[in-house]
C-alpha cells in the first residue's frame, strides 16, 4: 500500500465520527429512537376522551409494545365509536408532536425516551406527575351503599384521593357498612367538560382509578350536587342513611362484550326492570348464554335516564351486579 493510500485512510478514519455526527444531526426528529419525551396521553374521540397518562405509564413498565383498546385502559369513553390514543410528546428541539394510534393498533414505545421507566408525563394540560390532575370530570359527590341504604362519603374519598391515585374500595375504605349482607356500590357523581352530569359506579371490592377526575389528588371538589342516589331529586346529605325515592328508569342503549365484540342487550335489560328498578348480574345470561367475546373480560356499557333528568352513562364489569337506581 502506497504512502498516499495510507494518508487517505487515515483521513477517513479521522473524519468518520464527525461525518456520523453530522448525519445524525441532520436526521429528522421522528427518526431518532427514544428522542421524544411523553407529556400526556388521551384516549377517545374528539367529542369524548379521558386522560390515560397514568395507565400508559403502567403499561410501559411492562411492555415495549402492546395492542391497545378499551380493555387496555379499562374505559370506553365513547361507545360505538372508533377511538384513538393520542400521545403528546416533546422532542429534543423543544417542539411538541402528537402521535396517534387507532383503537386496536400496536403502540411501540421504542421512540419515546425513558419509556420503560415511566419517568415522564405531567406536561401542560397533562396527566400524572407534578401534582397535576387533568381528568375530564369534576367530582360533585360520592355515595356508598345500595339504593335502599347509602351514605355520603365525599369527604372520605377526598382523604383517600390525597394518598393514592388508585385504591381498592369496600367497607374498610369508608369505615362503614351501610347495608349489611348486601353487595354495595360506590357512586361518584361528576360533571364533564360539556356541563353534563355522569355517574361512575364501582362494585364493592373493585379498583377506583382517579386519573379521569379533575383535581383528584388536591381534593378541590365535592360541591354543587343536588341529586340523590339515583341522580336526581333531593339531597340526602350529612352522611345519613336514607331511602331512595322511586323513579322512572329508562334504558336508552346497552351493549355487552369486549372491544369490537359486543352485542346489543338493550331489550334484555329493559325486560328486567321491575317497579322502576333494575338489578341483574352482568354475565352471558344477558344473551341467553351466548359469549360475545370468549376468554376476554367483558363489560356492559349503557346509557339511561331517571325520571326526566339528563342522560347518564354506566359501565359494569362482568361478574358484578348492575343496580339502578
Phi and psi, residue 22, nearest 5° = -65, -45
Q: Any idea what DSSP says for residue 200?
A: E
Reported as a pLDDT band with limits 50, 70 and 90, residue 3 is low
Residue 96 has pLDDT above 60, yes or no: yes
Max CA separation in the chain (angstroms):
101
Tell me the Ramachandran region of residue 117: left when phi exceeds 0, alpha when psi lies from -120 to 50, beta otherwise.
alpha
Q: What is the pLDDT of residue 293?
A: 92
Phi and psi, residue 175, nearest 5° = 70, 25
Q: Any idea what DSSP says for residue 271?
A: T
What's the predicted TM-score (pTM) here? 0.40
CB of 217 closer than 8 Å to CB of 135: no
Q: Give the model confidence (pLDDT) of 158-188 as tens digits.
A: 988 888 777 888 899 998 898 888 888 999 9
pLDDT-wise least confident of 95-104, 144-153, 221-230, 256-265? 221-230
**Of 79 and 33, which is predicted with more confidence?**
79
Q: Give the model confidence (pLDDT) of 273-287 as tens digits.
A: 877 788 888 888 899
CB of 204 closer than 8 Å to CB of 184: yes
Reported as a pLDDT band with limits 50, 70 and 90, residue 98 is confident
Residue 296 has pLDDT above 80, yes or no: yes
Q: What is the pLDDT of residue 7?
A: 46
Closest CA to 60 of 101, 114, 133, 139: 114
Report residue 47 as a C-alpha cell. Answer: 367529542
Q: Give the model confidence (pLDDT) of 44-90 as tens digits.
A: 887 777 778 888 888 888 888 889 888 888 888 888 888 899 998 88
Helix (H, G, I), strand (E, B) or coil at 289: coil
Amino acid at each position: 500500500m502506497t504512502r498516499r493510500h495510507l494518508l487517505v485512510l487515515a483521513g477517513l478514519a479521522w473524519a468518520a465520527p464527525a461525518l456520523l455526527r453530522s448525519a445524525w444531526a441532520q436526521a429528522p426528529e421522528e427518526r431518532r429512537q427514544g428522542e421524544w419525551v411523553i407529556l400526556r396521553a388521551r384516549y377517545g374521540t374528539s367529542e369524548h376522551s379521558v386522560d390515560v397518562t397514568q395507565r400508559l405509564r403502567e403499561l410501559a413498565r411492562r411492555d415495549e409494545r402492546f395492542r391497545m383498546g378499551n380493555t387496555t385502559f379499562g374505559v370506553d369513553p365513547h361507545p360505538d365509536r372508533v377511538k384513538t390514543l393520542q400521545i403528546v410528546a416533546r422532542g429534543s428541539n423543544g417542539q411538541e408532536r402528537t402521535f396517534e394510534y387507532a383503537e386496536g393498533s400496536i403502540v411501540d414505545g421504542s421512540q419515546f425516551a425513558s419509556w420503560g421507566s415511566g419517568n415522564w408525563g405531567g406536561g401542560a394540560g397533562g396527566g400524572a406527575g407534578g401534582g397535576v390532575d387533568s381528568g375530564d370530570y369534576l367530582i360533585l359527590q360520592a355515595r356508598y351503599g345500595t339504593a335502599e341504604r347509602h351514605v355520603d362519603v365525599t369527604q372520605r374519598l377526598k382523604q383517600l384521593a390525597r394518598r393514592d391515585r388508585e385504591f381498592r374500595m369496600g367497607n374498610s375504605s369508608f369505615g362503614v357498612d351501610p347495608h349489611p349482607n348486601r353487595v354495595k356500590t360506590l357512586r361518584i357523581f361528576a360533571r364533564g367538560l360539556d356541563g353534563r352530569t355522569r355517574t361512575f359506579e364501582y362494585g364493592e371490592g373493585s379498583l377506583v382509578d382517579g386519573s379521569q377526575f379533575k383535581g383528584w389528588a388536591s381534593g378541590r371538589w365535592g360541591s354543587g350536587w343536588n341529586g340523590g342516589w339515583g341522580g336526581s331529586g333531593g339531597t340526602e346529605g350529612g352522611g345519613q342513611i336514607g331511602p331512595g325515592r322511586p323513579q322512572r328508569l329508562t334504558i336508552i342503549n346497552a351493549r355487552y362484550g369486549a372491544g369490537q365484540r359486543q352485542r346489543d342487550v338493550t331489550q334484555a335489560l329493559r325486560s328486567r326492570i321491575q317497579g322502576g328498578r333494575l338489578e341483574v348480574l352482568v354475565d352471558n345470561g344477558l344473551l341467553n348464554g351466548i359469549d360475545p367475546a370468549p376468554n376476554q373480560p367483558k363489560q356492559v356499557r349503557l346509557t339511561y335516564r331517571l325520571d326526566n333528568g339528563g342522560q347518564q352513562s354506566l359501565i359494569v364489569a362482568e361478574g358484578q351486579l348492575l343496580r339502578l337506581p
